[in-house]
Amino acid sequence: MKNKGIHHISIISGDPQVNADFYVKTLGLRLVLKTVNQDDPGTYHLFYANGEGAPGSSITFFPWPMAMQAKPGTGTVSAVSFTVPEGSCDYWIDRFAEQDVKFDTPITRFGKKVLPFYDTDGLKLELVEDEKSKNVPAWKGGTIPEIFSIRGFWGSNLHLTDYTATIDILQDVMDFKLTDESDSEILLTTQSDLGHSIIIEKAEDAKSGTNGRGYVHHIAFRAKDENDLKAMRQKVIELGLSPTQLIDRHVFMSVYFQTPGGVLFEIATDGPGYKSVAESEEEMGKKLFLPPWLEPRRDLIEQRLQPVTV
């Protein structure tokens, strides 16, 4: 179960430069892949991660500057949580106060200190102090001192009215175990250092969330390789759900399926990874990556995209 857990999380954002400034400059993540939305090649798909671009660390965005603000509700991912070393929250509170980042008072949840805050599109994020973060190297090129820096995901919160099927999927397909429960929340975990925790918030209100800026489009879970992906896809079918065929995203292979609770899930392979489409480790995220079928249209695509610099 060391290699199971969250792979990446993809979100709709507003302006791409504002988004890049927040995730790279304010939070200290690395832009590891700059590409286009394969379903809408006139817009970006930006991937931020830890220094290595490791599975379990990449938060990705589809920037649509004209998108309306998302509305919270049931059937959505209600928070995305990053893992930071123990004792880091005070540093981050000072940083957020200085940089006018909206944040809430820290809480303790399932024994962990949690600092909730919000990105430039109103997406709820959290920093969770976790001893496991020390097993993951800090990125030396980032803006944050290594002793406090984000190492990747801690996990994610799902706000669900109908959650039994989602628990079955997380346990039977993604290898999570139900490890703790309170009146309002259920914790499921894997043994991984990153992306190992899903919290299900038991929603009392049945009002659905709506798509827009700050909306989590999907959450992807890890498959070791293509054979593992095929086996996991088979388990999804056995649960009575309808996954897509395997889709080649060039940096990983993917399968998507809608869950009965309302959240779109993906399963993605650990490899080949973001480094595989860069000329070198240092060049990760610098040049716009296009899938081979869009490469002949590079000039036109680059002309239409507003430049994003980090």
Tell me the closest approach of the beta carbon of residue 33 to Zn ion, in angstroms: 12
CB 126 within 8 A of CB 227: no
Q: Which stretch binds Zn ion (CB under 5 A): 82-90, 128-136, 213-221, 269-277?
A: 213-221
Q: How many Cα atoms occupy the beta-carbon half-sphere of 123 within 13 Å?
A: 31
Tell me the closest approach of the beta carbon of residue 78 to Zn ion, in angstroms: 18
Tell me the closest approach of the beta carbon of residue 303 to Zn ion, in angstroms: 27
Counting contacts by CB under 5 A, is residue 220 touching Zn ion?
yes
Longest CA pairwise span in the chain (Å): 55
Question: For Zn ion, which is the closer residue by CB, 136 or 255?
Answer: 255
Please give the structure tokens belonging to residue 129.
């102090």
Residues near 149 by Cβ (< 8 Å), separated by ≥ 6? 28, 84, 85, 138, 139, 142
Counting contacts by CB under 5 A, is residue 269 touching Zn ion?
no
Counting contacts by CB under 5 A, is residue 10 touching Zn ion?
yes
Counting contacts by CB under 5 A, is residue 266 touching Zn ion?
yes
Q: Which stretch binds Zn ion (CB under 5 A): 42-50, 143-151, 208-216, 260-268?
A: 260-268
3-state percent breakdown (helix, strand, coil) of the chain, nearest 5: 20, 35, 40
**Residues 76-105 close enough to bind Zn ion by CB under 5 A:** none
Q: x/- string (CB under 5 A) for Zn ion, residues 279-298?
A: --------------------
CA distance 294 to 274: 18
Tell me the closest approach of the beta carbon of residue 52 to Zn ion, in angstroms: 19
CB 215 within 8 A of CB 70: yes
Report the interface residues with Zn ion, using CB under 5 A: 10, 220, 266
